[in-house]
Amino acid sequence: MPITCEFEYHKPKTLPEALKLLTDKGSCVLAGGTDLLVWMKEGLRAPKTVVDIKGIAGMGGFTLSASALRIGACVTFSELIESDVVRKKLPMLWECSRTVASVGVRNRATLAGNICSAVPSLDSAPALLVYDAVVEVRGPKATRKVPVAEWFTGVKRTALKPGELVTAVIIPLTKKKAGSCYVKLGRYRGEDLAQVGVAVLALADNEYRVAFCAVGPVPTRAKKIEALLSGKELDDALIAQAKELVPQEISPITDIRSSKEYRLHMARVMLARGLKAACARLAGDAPATGDNLV
């Protein structure tokens, strides 16, 4: 299945050069290419210009400051998994990255590309949502920062405007002690697109953050559940109450991968398991980060 669309390939060395190329209406950005090439083969995208951003200085790598970790647009999931900083400071990002596709894909696929593709099942989004991440976007005129909570605007739609380029994802670091858990439902243990994804971040002082993916057109924070849990010690009764709120937080559909009913059922089960695991990890107990809970 060859790529049959015809396009020009450019690999700019500077950001202004790239932004100039991106003013062309038929242009599209190439980073890892693991989504883009499939879409081109299947005729879902037919760009006139492909702008490979991997030659631009400063687009790769991590920048750690006291308050945040800046992840360059060309950082791959493998680099996230292999990063000690990510594993220590943002264990849920590490945990969810390991559930993305498979090694050969993760060696190319980027975090920034994942959020730009913006499919409802994207594994990185729940973690970015609970970490209150910010997307750094460079436009022809200025740089702007978009909170991840405002990033996803629909299925495969984002706040990115024509001519703009994501340059980094910035994740603020909390000083609080934290335990976290990303629970992913696939049809089996091997590579699969999430049918439900649940992220739970449990912070000291009983602060909880919860997010879902694959159960609505966009990944979302579960604010009602967070409000319910806030300030309370987790126990079975509280978990039961939280599970009751799940239908108010998500809007799952039936598709080839799962029925609406099963998604709803599993969102509840996974929320309960995720809450318990996150709190256990906060207390330094098992299950270890990365252990499969479903």
* Contact residue for other proteins among 24, 60, 70, 107 (CB under 8 A): 107
Is residue 87 close enough to count as binding other proteins by CB under 8 A?
no
CA distance 275 to 294: 13
Query: Which token pair is 101?
Result: 């596709």
Is residue 52 close enough to count as binding other proteins by CB under 8 A?
yes
- Which range touches other proteins (CB under 8 A), out of 56-64, 133-141, 237-245, 251-259? 251-259
Is residue 7 close enough to count as binding other proteins by CB under 8 A?
yes
Q: What is the DSSP string of the chain?
A: ----S--EEE--SSHHHHHHHHTSTTEEEESS-TTHHHHHHTTS---SEEEEGGGSTTSSSEEE-SSEEEEETT-BHHHHHH-HHHHHH-HHHHHHHTTSS-HHHHTT-BHHHHHHH--TT-THHHHHHHTT-EEEEE-SS-EEEEEHHHHEEETTEESPPTT-EEEEEEEEPP-S-EEEEEEEE-SSSSS---SEEEEEEEETTTEEEEEEESSSSS-EE-HHHHHHHTT----HHHHHHHHHHHHHH------SS--HHHHHHHHHHHHHHHHHHHHHHHTTPSSPTT----
Give the shortest CB-250-to-other proteins separation in angstroms: 17
- Which range touches other proteins (CB under 8 A), out of 7-15, 64-72, 164-172, 230-238? 7-15
Is residue 102 close enough to count as binding other proteins by CB under 8 A?
yes
* Contact residue for other proteins among 87, 156, 223, 265 (CB under 8 A): 265
Give the shortest CB-103-to-other proteins separation in angstroms: 6
- Which range touches other proteins (CB under 8 A), out of 100-108, 138-146, 202-210, 225-233? 100-108
* Contact residue for other proteins among 54, 70, 87, 224 (CB under 8 A): 54
* Contact residue for other proteins among 67, 241, 248, 259 (CB under 8 A): 259
CA distance 80 to 64: 13
Give the shortest CB-204-to-other proteins separation in angstroms: 29
Is residue 261 close enough to count as binding other proteins by CB under 8 A?
yes
Per CB under 8 A, contacts with other proteins among 30-49 are 30, 33-34, 37-38, 40-42
Query: Which token pair is 216?
Result: 């609505």
Is residue 124 close enough to count as binding other proteins by CB under 8 A?
no
Is residue 258 close enough to count as binding other proteins by CB under 8 A?
yes
- Choose between 6 and 233: whose C-beta lies nearer to other proteins: 6
Is residue 108 close enough to count as binding other proteins by CB under 8 A?
yes
Q: Which residues have a Cβ under 8 Å from the Cβ of 54 and sit 6 or more positions away?
A: 11, 30, 31, 60, 74
Is residue 155 close enough to count as binding other proteins by CB under 8 A?
no
Total binding residues toward other proteins, as defined by CB under 8 A: 48
Give the shortest CB-270-to-other proteins separation in angstroms: 8
Nearest residue to 34 (alpha-carbon basis) of 193, 258, 256, 167: 193
Q: Which residues bind other proteins (CB under 8 A)?
A: 1-9, 11, 30, 33-34, 37-38, 40-42, 50, 52, 54, 78, 98, 101-105, 107-108, 185, 187-193, 256-259, 261-262, 265-266, 269, 294
